[in-house]
């Protein structure tokens, strides 16, 4: 028996009506005993042990959480592993941030070639987090129950946990909406509590795609990226949205393509009274970066004029 044959098989909860119990590798051993081995005098295999109480797979760090999470938009991308037998392995930290940490996770089906890399964005709970963005961004967002609104406003531990979940949900919802519109965002794989799993945007060498802020693009490349940014902003504005925290740190360059990330605070231009102020600030910050890195004013202005919603946008001198 090869090593892979001994890996546990995770069964779908729909396999049968019996209470759910994951099989241990001993189960496989027992089922695979060749009856003739007994008559040939080989020693019988040991009796199966009870399933372990802590239900962790033999390889990896946890079972795939796909079956208990909210899924991203269908159709699911071909590269995504959705098999219930998959396990998640933690490969390291991509970046720790003020409000969330991003980890690299591999989701794979043991013994097969099915495997994909995911960015796990985990929002911090309660006191480990400092949400500078809560107040202004929550304007115009509806929270139904007043007890929850009060808890969030007072920043009680309960309120802060609610906010962590709310931000994760808000980012997942925004990414799902933008993905469906064809905006350049990582595919939102799933949401489970305060953890968001995203398509991992990587370089051919496996490193995370660089932030725009880290790059010094050559003039022609800079113009291309600027055009891509204007295209992306047009999709958002047409949808009545502003990013709300746009900066060269929240733009990744993934194999030549500019990608928007970090969207929990996406702003509704109609419902949020400060919506247009957020949009103007977003545009100012990225325009300053591009012109500061050599984008000619004429090209900057040609791009800005495409964003017709901001009719009185001051031209770059």
Q: Residue numbers of the site for ligand ATP (CB under 6 A)?
A: 94-95, 97-100, 102, 119, 121, 186, 198-201, 208-209, 211, 249-250, 261-262
Say which entry of Mg ion, ligand ATP, none residue 98 contacts (CB below 5 to 8 A, set by partner kind).
Answer: ligand ATP
Q: Which is nearer to ligand ATP, 25 or 122 (CB)?
A: 122
What is the spatial distance between Cα 196 and Cα 256, in angstroms, rounded to a whole number?
25
State the binding partner of 100 from ligand ATP, Mg ion, none, CB within 5 to 8 A by kind. ligand ATP
Spell 146-185 as b/e; 16+ CB within 10 A means b.
eeeeebbeeeeeebbbbbbebbbbbbbbbbbbbbeeebbb
Burial class for 117, CB neighbours closer than 10 Å (0-12, 13-18, 19+): middle
Does 265 contact Mg ion by CB under 5 A? no
CB 301 within 8 A of CB 292: no
The answer to whether 262 contacts Mg ion (rule: CB under 5 A) is yes
Closer Cβ to Mg ion, 176 or 250, answer by number:
250
CB of residue 192 to ligand ATP, shortest distance in Å:
16
- Which residues make Cβ contacts (< 8 Å) with residue 50, sequence separation at least 6? none
Give the one entry of Mg ion, ligand ATP, none that residue 119 binds, where binding means its C-beta sits below a cut-off of 5 to 8 angstroms depending on kind.
ligand ATP
Closest distance of CB 262 from ligand ATP, Å: 3
**Host H or E run for residue 257:** strand 257-260
For residue 9, the minimal CB distance to ligand ATP (Å) is 31
Provide the 10 A C-beta neighbour count for residue 44. 9
Nearer to ligand ATP, 8 or 186 (CB): 186
State which residue, 171 or 262, has the beta carbon closest to Mg ion.
262
Cβ at position 98, least distance to ligand ATP in Å: 4
Nearer to ligand ATP, 158 or 249 (CB): 249
Q: Which of 106, 166, 176, 250 binds Mg ion (CB under 5 A)?
A: 250
Given a contact cutoff of 8 angstroms between Cβ atoms, the answer to whether 115 and 81 are in contact is yes
Residue 215 has phi, psi (to 5 degrees) of -100, 155
Rounded Cα distance, 197 and 169, in Å? 12
Q: Which is nearer to ligand ATP, 21 or 132 (CB)?
A: 132
**Site stretch for Mg ion (CB under 5 A), options 107-115, 165-173, 233-241, 244-252:** 244-252
Q: By beta-carbon distance, which residue lies closest to ligand ATP?
A: 97
Cα(195)–Cα(188) distance, integer angstroms: 11
- Of 68, 89, 105, 106, the closest CA to residue 192 belongs to 68
- Interaction site with Mg ion (CB under 5 A): 250, 262
């Amino acid at each position: 028996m090869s090593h892979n044959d001994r890996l546990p098989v995770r069964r779908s909860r729909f396999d049968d009506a019996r209470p759910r119990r994951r099989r241990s590798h001993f189960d496989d051993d027992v089922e695979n005993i060749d009856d003739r081995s007994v008559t040939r005098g080989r020693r019988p295999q040991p009796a199966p042990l009870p399933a372990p109480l802590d239900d962790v797979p033999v390889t990896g760090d946890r079972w795939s959480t796909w079956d208990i999470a909210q899924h991203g938009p269908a159709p699911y991308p071909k590269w995504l592993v959705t098999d219930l037998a998959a396990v998640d392995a933690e490969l390291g930290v991509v970046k720790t941030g003020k409000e969330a940490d991003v980890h690299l996770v591999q989701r794979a089906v043991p013994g097969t070639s099915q495997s994909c890399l995911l960015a796990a964005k985990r929002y911090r709970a309660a006191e480990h987090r400092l949400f500078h963005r809560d107040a202004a961004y929550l304007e115009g967002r509806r929270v139904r129950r007043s007890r929850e609104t009060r808890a969030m406003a007072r920043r009680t531990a309960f309120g802060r946990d609610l906010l962590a979940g709310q931000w994760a949900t808000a980012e997942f919802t925004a990414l799902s909406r933008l993905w469906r519109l064809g905006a350049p965002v990582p595919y939102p794989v799933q949401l489970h509590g305060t953890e968001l799993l995203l398509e991992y945007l990587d370089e051919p060498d496996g490193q995370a795609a660089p932030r725009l802020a880290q790059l010094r693009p050559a003039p022609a490349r800079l113009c291309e990226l600027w055009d891509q940014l204007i295209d992306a902003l047009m999709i958002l504005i047409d949808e009545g949205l502003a990013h709300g925290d746009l900066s060269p740190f929240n733009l990744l360059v993934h194999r030549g393509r500019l990608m928007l990330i970090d969207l929990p605070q996406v702003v509704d231009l109609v419902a949020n009274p400060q919506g247009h102020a957020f949009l103007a600030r977003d545009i100012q910050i990225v325009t300053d970066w591009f012109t500061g890195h050599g984008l000619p004013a004429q090209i900057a202005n040609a791009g800005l004029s495409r964003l017709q919603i901001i009719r009185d946008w001051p031209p770059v001198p």
